[in-house]
Structure 1
Amino acid sequence: MIETQIQMRFADIDVLGHVNNVNQQHYFDLGKCDFYKQVLGLTPYWKTAGLIIVASQTNYLVQTRRDEPIAVRTRIIRVGNKSFTLHHQLINSETEQIKTECTAVMVAYNFDEQHSFEMPDEWKAKLTAEMEKDADR
């Protein structure tokens, strides 16, 4: 599991004083970026081949308020041949209360040729190792 501390910005807050749902998706994207870097050794700046989101589902459990210390926890829950599934939790980093959960299916994609491709064995091995490490926790 990779944990990403989030710096809440003034623009993230709506008129009701809580983090807007759209901005929570941005937080999950930051979690993905840290996950790619720490687990796969990749940066999210792809020109030819990389990863795209093909499906996501978000459950907003509890409002996230202005000035709360928050973090995104990202872990892998499934590894396939062309895709893998990430699970994110937006948490209060002091109380560990889960605010929002999201799953995202990521697909290896060739941007030049506009099609998915089978993930390299190295990616699959790293993703599987990370998933097994999380299962042991």
Structure 2
Amino acid sequence: MARHIYACPLRWSDMDAFGHVNNVVFLRYLEEARIDFMFTQAAAAGAGEFAGGSVVARHEIDYKRPLVHRPEPVTIETWVTKIGGASLTVSYEIKDTAEDGTETVYVRASTVVVPYDLAAGRPRRISPVEREFLGRFVDGAEQVQAAAAA
């Protein structure tokens, strides 16, 4: 399974009174990674329709460990866990990987995204080009579910 990798910078203003990244800020981190994945990378792969509009229908976040400010970016891995007719689920891990390969996971999350036709003011179906792009980021077990939803 391929995962989109995004290096997310930490900002001093992300910190809360307890000295770690505020829980709400993690939504911004997920948004940054999702925009890079669905707008920038998808457009580069010829599936730029997402940039025309999409809305978030649901977020789910599990906070695993506190993340403190430092100059190095944190890694956000993004992949697709479900492709429906008019929605998709993007999953994430916000983490660090040490030189010896051990990982520290700070957050595991998922977002249900609905492609949206801004001019018509309503959701739209996922196009075949978008589906092909997203399919590159779905693992084998989940591809059956994605194909069945097509």
Shorter-chain TM-score: which interval?
Answer: 0.7 to 0.9
- 1:117 positional shift: 1.1
1:127 to 130, 134, 138: 134
Contact 1:60 1:100 in 2 (8 A): yes
Q: Which moved more, 1:115-124 or 1:61-70?
A: 61-70
In the alignment, structure 1 residue 31 sits paired with structure 2 residue 33: yes
- What does residue 118 of structure 2 align with? 111
Consecutive unaligned residues in structure 1, runs of 5 or more: none
Contact 1:40 1:127 in 2 (8 A): no
How far apart are the structure 2 equivalents of 1:33 and 1:88? 13
Q: TM-score, normalised by structure 2?
A: 0.78
In the alignment, structure 1 residue 63 sits paired with structure 2 residue 70: no
How far apart are the structure 2 equivalents of 1:108 and 1:39? 13
Is the partner of 1:125 in helix, strand or coil?
helix
Consecutive unaligned residues in structure 2, runs of 5 or more: 143-150
- 1:112 positional shift: 2.0
Is the partner of 2:61 in helix, strand or coil?
strand
Deviant stretches of 4+, over 4 Å: none
2:8 to 1, 6, 9: 6
Is the partner of 1:130 in helix, strand or coil?
coil
- 1:81 positional shift: 1.0
Is the partner of 1:73 in helix, strand or coil?
strand
Contact 1:56 1:105 in 2 (8 A): yes
Q: Which moved more, 1:2-11 or 1:62-71?
A: 62-71
How far apart are the structure 1 equivalents of 2:71 and 2:81? 27
Contact 2:20 2:67 in 1 (8 A): yes
In the alignment, structure 1 residue 17 sits paired with structure 2 residue 19: yes
1:40-64 residue CA offsets vs partner (Å, 9 max, x unmatched): 54397x5xx4211101111111111
